[in-house]
Structure 1
Amino acid sequence: MNKTYRPSRKGLIINTTITGLVMLVISVFLYFILANSGASNHVNLIIVAILAATAFLYTAYVAIRFIYEKIIITDEALIYKGLFREKIFEIEKIKGYKKINYNVEVYSTVKYPWRTIKISDFYNDIGEIREWLWNHCQNLDLAELEKEMEVYEDDMQEILMDDNYGSNEKVVEENYERNRKYFNLFSYASLGIAIWYFIYPFPYAFLTAMVIGLPIIGLIIIYTTKGMARLYTGKSSAYFNMGVHLGMLISAMLVRALLDTNILSYQKVWGPAIVSSILLAPLVYFITRKEFEVEKFSKRFISFSFVVIVIFAYVFFTIVHANEQFDTNDYKVFYTQVTDKKITNGKYETCYLIVNDRLPNTNVNEVKIWEELYENIEVGDSVTIYLKPGVFKIPWIRYVAKKSDGG
């Protein structure tokens, strides 16, 4: 056999159009970001020209590459010839192939210099290529599916043979289905609360209490199901994976802590978080002990590491949120003068005022504020800072205002 395959005209049009639209959206997005940076019209015009040229050139490159590339199948090898490179996979050195989105990816057992050949679904006679791959190479999707099914069946057999889950297989199956219903209910509740808290956290105190409380309910489910639900499982395991849902809740707590909380010094959080985690660890270990009953050290280590991370993250952000949300103490008013301003650049921009005096009972003279207030306060202005002591005696700022506004 010696046959050459090329991309179809339909594929060329679709790929070029999609690439052009994506580049257009990215260019417009970048333009608005740069345009709002305060640059002059001349600079903005240059930016527009550069973005337009880049978008056009990249779209043209994708089109030319798609026109030029081809796949050649011989009796000895699978060959890819592209615009700048050529890949030759000898048949006996092909590991297998997988279907990924709108492509078939062929993998070689030799990693250097090229490990994969990507064949678009928009090739002419793509059916012939797939048939050849099916007859000459291993279908890695099926191999992975078989492996996942094997893991699932092994776990299921382990559950059915465990006397802790029931006196016989029928009882175990009934318990398994009942526990699945409870777990699914918890899954939907945790997903809904996490998204709600992440996107629109109102009512704030109620949602904070729910996000803090649901992981405790998750541990109760792990305990009452006697290990059918676990903090860490593989994606194909028959055990219920509680870790994904706890991870979503903790991630929502992290995002809201970054956006909403205003603790004067996180150094005061580390100590209580570490001590509380150490005290909580034996209880969590007792509840999740089934996860450590595995022969492989690597699996025990992964499970142990995951448990440690979950405990500390949960405790840390619980302290951060509870310290503010459930603080019913009176305000303490502090007057000072702004000596400087700064914005930290990261995943989220954060605005700070540098004040003349250190805040009470701290070594802190930086105050985090909202961007709107940051723009209305200048160096030299006097400000009023409303402080609260915190539930765990970790001071935090409730409100900042110019002294003329705050009295």
Structure 2
Amino acid sequence: MENVQGTYKLVKKASRHTFLIGLVGMTMSTIPYIFLIRAELWKPTMYLSILLVPFFVMSLVLIVHSFYYRVIITENTILLKLPSTNRSFSFDEIRGFKITPSYVYIYSNKKKISISIYTEGIDKIYGWLQQNFTNLDELPQEESDFIKKFNAFSDRLFSNLSEDNTTNFDNNDITSSESYKTKLKRAKYIVSIYNILSFFSIGWLFFYPFIYKISFLSNYKHVLILAVLLTIIGIILPKISTEFINYSSKEEDKPYIRRIFFLLGMSLLIRFMLDVNLLDYYTTILLYSLSIGFFLTFFIMTSREFNFRQLKTYFQGLFFLLSFTAFGYGAIGIGNFLYDESIPKMYKAKILKREMYSGKVILFSLKVEKWHETSDMNKIKISQEKYQQLEGKDSISIYVKEGKFGIPWLIPN
């Protein structure tokens, strides 16, 4: 057996790229604290830490990773040295390897080593693996027990679907082709069901003011929970679909779900902006939403389907960042008032003018005199019913609540 010996690190370009991503992540997870602590907003700081501290740690690991990543091959072992761990296999332990657009995976019976394709000498490492070990990509793919059970369930669910006729292939090709088509068809049906539920949720959010008297649809919390769950399911689906569902890429007729993220996010954002009056705390909620946006975008962009050597990948990342920031803004904003159990504080305000804006959506608001000791807020959104009730009145009661996530909001009454 020909042994390859050497020490390999990340190529300089990849090392700089990893360092910059980590630096941006650390910066984005630190900046919110500057604003929140200066404003002495301790409750939002506490809630935001649940998300930002792990994000900061992940970013710090990336920075250290850019300097200390090493692949070491000796006469009898291969070793991957990372800031967080060292993992080595003797050659006798290696069961085989797999190649993906981002990594070379080397497997033992229980563990694996992940070698970045941006490692110096990756072609040399790949050639050595190809010569001495089994390429698992060339063997029938194994699936986890969960995936097997899920696939068995969906096979029973869609067992009445007709199979496409296949000709001009030998028996092995027919089996492989039919298996691929079955899995692809299953993925399309799963995404179709997901899309139907998502559009139902979007419609529920959009038409809520007109359907709130219907008992089944009257609970605002239910539609928020459904929208959040659908977003989480959408994030997970491509991860467990064995690459038959994509986030964004239109590849080989595979279904993708990026548009649903955008539509759900914008629906939650618009519903929040129409229904809730915040007390000049838009900076706080924006910090929340940007943190959620960066975190979820970072999670998705680690998927194999994205190639950072292509310019379109960065535009896709910006699209996801916009979608998840809108999602975070709407979900945090709506959850902040739906789950708020604080005791309201009452203020009185003099009404200067009732205003109505007509367009595709009719909006109603009040212009009032200064009524709060720290806020200059002089325009308050109200419903059409409240707009009519206040006709001929010169003052209004305003109830201010702290908000579940420390973002004060108000109720005109």
Taking structure 1 as the reference length, the TM-score comes to 0.50
The question of whether the paired residues in 2 share the 8 Å contact of 1:329 and 1:388 is answered with yes
After superposition, residues 8-407 of structure 1 pair within 5 angstroms as 166=141, 169=176, 172-199=180-207, 200=211, 202-234=218-250, 237-265=252-280, 266-286=282-302, 289-293=303-307, 296-297=310-311, 299-344=312-357, 347-359=360-372, 361-377=374-390, 381-398=394-411, 400-401=412-413
Deviations 1:233-289, CA, capped at 9 Å, x for gaps: 34x851212123333322432342243223233343222222332333322322xx2
Separation in structure 2 between the aligned mates of residue 164 and residue 251 of structure 1, nearest angstrom? 44
Tell me the SS of whatever aligns to 1:290. Answer: coil
The question of whether the paired residues in 2 share the 8 Å contact of 1:291 and 1:303 is answered with no
Match of 1:79 in 2: none
Separation in structure 1 between the aligned mates of residue 309 and residue 256 of structure 2, nearest angstrom? 20
Separation in structure 1 between the aligned mates of residue 204 and residue 386 of structure 2, nearest angstrom? 27
Q: Give the letter aligned to residue 395 of structure 1.
A: P
Deviates more, 1:357-366 or 1:161-170: 161-170
Match of 1:22 in 2: none
Give, in angstroms, the shift of residue 305 of structure 1. 2.4
Tell me the SS of whatever aligns to 2:314. Answer: helix
Separation in structure 2 between the aligned mates of residue 327 and residue 205 of structure 1, nearest angstrom? 12
Give, in angstroms, the shift of residue 350 of structure 1. 2.8
Give, in angstroms, the shift of residue 379 of structure 1. 8.0
Match of 1:43 in 2: none
Deviations 1:294-346, CA, capped at 9 Å, x for gaps: 7642x323322222222212111111211122222222222222234434566
Tell me the SS of whatever aligns to 1:329. Answer: coil
Match of 1:112 in 2: none
Separation in structure 2 between the aligned mates of residue 184 and residue 341 of structure 1, nearest angstrom? 45
Separation in structure 1 between the aligned mates of residue 227 and residue 196 of structure 2, nearest angstrom? 13
Q: Give the letter aligned to residue 381 of structure 1.
A: D
The percentage of aligned residue pairs carrying the same residue is: 21
Separation in structure 1 between the aligned mates of residue 326 and residue 252 of structure 2, nearest angstrom? 25
Q: Give the letter aligned to residue 218 of structure 1.
A: G
Q: Give the letter aligned to residue 191 of structure 1.
A: F
Separation in structure 1 between the aligned mates of residue 387 and residue 189 of structure 2, nearest angstrom? 50
Match of 2:57 in 1: none
- CA 248–232 in structure 1, closer or farther in 2 if over 3 Å, else same: same
Q: Give the letter aligned to residue 204 of structure 2.
A: W
Give, in angstroms, the shift of residue 206 of structure 1. 0.7
For the aligned residues, what is the CA RMSD? 3.2
Deviates more, 1:318-327 or 1:241-250: 241-250
The question of whether the paired residues in 1 share the 8 Å contact of 2:269 and 2:327 is answered with no
Separation in structure 2 between the aligned mates of residue 232 and residue 360 of structure 1, nearest angstrom? 48
Give, in angstroms, the shift of residue 218 of structure 1. 0.7
The question of whether the paired residues in 1 share the 8 Å contact of 2:275 and 2:381 is answered with no
Count residues in correspondence: 236
The question of whether the paired residues in 2 share the 8 Å contact of 1:230 and 1:240 is answered with yes
Q: Which has the larger radius of gyration?
A: 1
The question of whether the paired residues in 1 share the 8 Å contact of 2:292 and 2:324 is answered with no
Tell me the SS of whatever aligns to 1:185. Answer: helix
Separation in structure 2 between the aligned mates of residue 197 and residue 175 of structure 1, nearest angstrom? 33
Match of 1:134 in 2: none
Deviations 1:68-116, CA, capped at 9 Å, x for gaps: xxxxxxxxxxxxxxxxxxxxxxxxxxxxxxxxxxxxxxxxxxxxxxxxx
Give, in angstroms, the shift of residue 351 of structure 1. 2.6
Tell me the SS of whatever aligns to 2:277. Answer: coil
Match of 1:131 in 2: none
Separation in structure 2 between the aligned mates of residue 198 and residue 393 of structure 1, nearest angstrom? 26
Q: Give the letter aligned to residue 336 of structure 2.
A: N
- CA 353–197 in structure 1, closer or farther in 2 if over 3 Å, else same: closer
Runs of 5+ unmatched residues, structure 2: 1-135, 143-174, 212-216
Runs of 5+ unmatched residues, structure 1: 1-160, 402-407
